[in-house]
Structure 1
Amino acid sequence: MQLDTLIFGQGAAQQHLLSTDLRQQVLVLHQHDAARLSKLPAALQAHLLTAAARVTLVPNKLTASLASVQQAQPQVQVLAQSWPEQVSNIRLQLDAVLQSAYQTQNLVGSLPGRVQPDSFLVVTAHYDHLGMLGKHTYFPGANDNASGTAMLLELAAHYARPENRPAYSVIFIAFGAEEAGLVGSQYFVEHPLVPLDRIRFLLNLDLLGTGEEGATVVNGRVYEQQYQLLNTLNTAGHYLPALAARGRAANSDHYFFSEKGVPAFFLYTRGGPTAYHDVHDQAAPLPLTGFIGAFSLLCDFLNLLGANSQ
């Protein structure tokens, strides 16, 4: 059953839909209409959920995600260009089991500060991705977020060398379950291993496999002084083509720290391959154009914040 878009503006169309039994119907709608469903009256939204399933036609690419709750109604995405013009019957077979008590881990390493061991700089990245969809579909997660995890390991190796011993303590955290809703980082903030008010700054690394167009800094508009420092270092070192500042966003593991008053940036690179939350996010196509530059920029930034060995 193709969704009649008149329901978004006509009461008669809404009443007609409410009188239609949807229990044996598969509701088909376009992505831009799916985004408008939340604006419908609550009774109509509830009625749409009685449909046997929902198929959303998306225009460009399929994007997978995880959730901590399971929908009562099966919902799938199909590329619009793959959908036949005339469809009379749809058969779906879905095997979906919610892992409600799945246990994951945060991995934490620390380098004691040489001068002020009770002051902390924190570097974070999530090591999880989407895993499998069924038995045959695998999401590699090379850019999201093997790239950020690799950068975390590079920074840890750098500061672990005797000649680079930090003045402040530096903590490296690889979070689990970011894709399920920032679960790992939220847990750490609620059960911190160090006092949050002793964290001088946190750098969250996610999506660092490109860089042709530079990088974006989430919270750059919040912590303007630190962003200006980062931008000055980038300009002086010619590390990345450009930096762009964003405001607050609950889109990675920096978020719960920021909400508790910990100054934090989330840095991600821009340009190059656009694979995201799909089967094409593989290692081979990633150019790592800005990886070395980002590493040098982050080292300079951390050193000025208190990791300097001098």
Structure 2
Amino acid sequence: MVYHGADDNASGTAALLEIAEKLISKQDQLKRSVLFIAFGAEEQGLLGSKYFVENPLIPLSQIKLMINMDMVGRLNDKKHVYAGGAGTFTNGVDFMKNLGKSLGLNPIVHAGSVGGSDHVSFYKKNISVLGVHTGGHPQYHTPEDTLELINLEGEKLVCEYVFQTILNKASTPNNIEFINQD
């Protein structure tokens, strides 16, 4: 049986590539490095992200914020985008709400609600996180999770939301401090 995975999580991988390409044109504004990684084996227990935090390419102390995009391709008509973990960095909740509204989104932002995707591995290492998704649907983990159901215009909007977040957080010399939400 084929599980296409268009939303879970080809949408997140496509968003990662789009945002990385877009950020290149703004690299002169950045005050910190941005590392883009697509992890594998999330469904098998976060194996890829767990491996990374146990065997990091750079010291974990240099990683200030991990943004995870898992299932960002099904923005609904109400334009709900979910952002969990926004309270793990200073003013994160207000920032994510205001940014989303300015882009025409209806963000549902949680200080905690870190969730169960790859950003959890970073949160457990006291690194600020943000988990972005557009919500569940009946096609989750089924062969019906196909490209035809992806809201391409909606995904572009979610990409802009994450891009603007990265640009803002990577363009400031201010330190991003971890705030525990347990």
TM-based fold match above 0.5? yes
Q: In the alignment, which of 81, 98, 102 is matched to residue 215 of structure 1? A: 81
Partner of 2:133: 268
Counting aligned pairs with the same residue, the percent is 32
Q: Which has the higher helix share?
A: 2
Once residues 283 and 307 of structure 1 are traced to their aligned partners in structure 2, the CA distance between those partners, rounded to angstroms, is 34
Query: Which residue pairs with 1:84 in the alignment?
Result: none
Alignment match of 1:193 (pick from 37, 47, 57): 57
1:199-230 per-position Cα deviation (integer Å, ceiling 9, x unaligned): 12110010011111411112134446212111
- State the partner residue of 1:258: 123
In 2, Cα distance between the equivalents of 1:195 and 1:269? Answer: 31
Residue 244 of structure 1: which of 97, 109, 121 is its match?
109
2:6·2:147 contact (CA, 8 Å) conserved in 1?
A: yes
CA distance in 2, matches of 1:249, 1:160: 29
Aligned residue-pair number: 169
State the secondary structure of the residue aligned to 1:265. strand
Q: Kindly state the Cα deviation for residue 270 of structure 1 after the two structures are TM-superposed.
A: 3.0
Ranges in structure 2 where 5+ consecutive residues have no aligned partner: 173-182
User: AA paired with 2:82?
Assistant: T
Deviation per CA, 1:66-95: give whole Å up to 9, x if none: xxxxxxxxxxxxxxxxxxxxxxxxxxxxxx
Secondary structure of the residue that 1:179 maps to in structure 2? coil
Q: Which has the higher contact order (CA 8 A, sep 6+)?
A: 2
Q: Deviation at 1:144?
A: 0.3
Picking from 79, 89, 92, the partner of 1:226 is 92
CA RMSD of aligned residues (A): 2.0
Q: Show the counterpart of 1:202.
A: 66
- Of stretches 279-288 and 261-270 in structure 1, the one that deviates more from structure 2 is 279-288
Q: Which has the higher strand share?
A: 1
> What TM-score comes out, normalization by structure 1 length?
0.51
In the alignment, the residues of structure 1 paired with residue 125 and residue 99 of structure 2 have an alpha-carbon distance, to the nearest angstrom, of: 27
The correspondence of residues 85-164 of structure 1 with structure 2, limited to 5 A, is: 137-161=1-25, 163-164=26-27
* Structure 1: runs of 5+ lacking an equivalent: 1-136
Partner of 1:301: 165
Partner Cα distance (1:250, 1:216) in 2: 11
Aligned position for 2:176: none
Equivalent-residue separation in structure 2 for 1:176 and 1:304 (angstroms)? 27
Per the alignment, do residues 288 and 206 of structure 1 end up closer, same or farther by CA in structure 2, a change over 3 Å counting? same
In structure 1, distance between residues paired with 2:9 and 2:61: 28
Per-residue Cα deviation, 1:228-278 (whole angstroms, up to 9, x for no partner): 11111112232x23323262445100001001110011100137x531011
- Equivalent-residue separation in structure 2 for 1:203 and 1:196 (angstroms): 15
Cα distance in structure 2, aligned partners of 1:276 and 1:256? 22
**Matched-pair contact (CA < 8 Å) for 1:169–1:307:** no
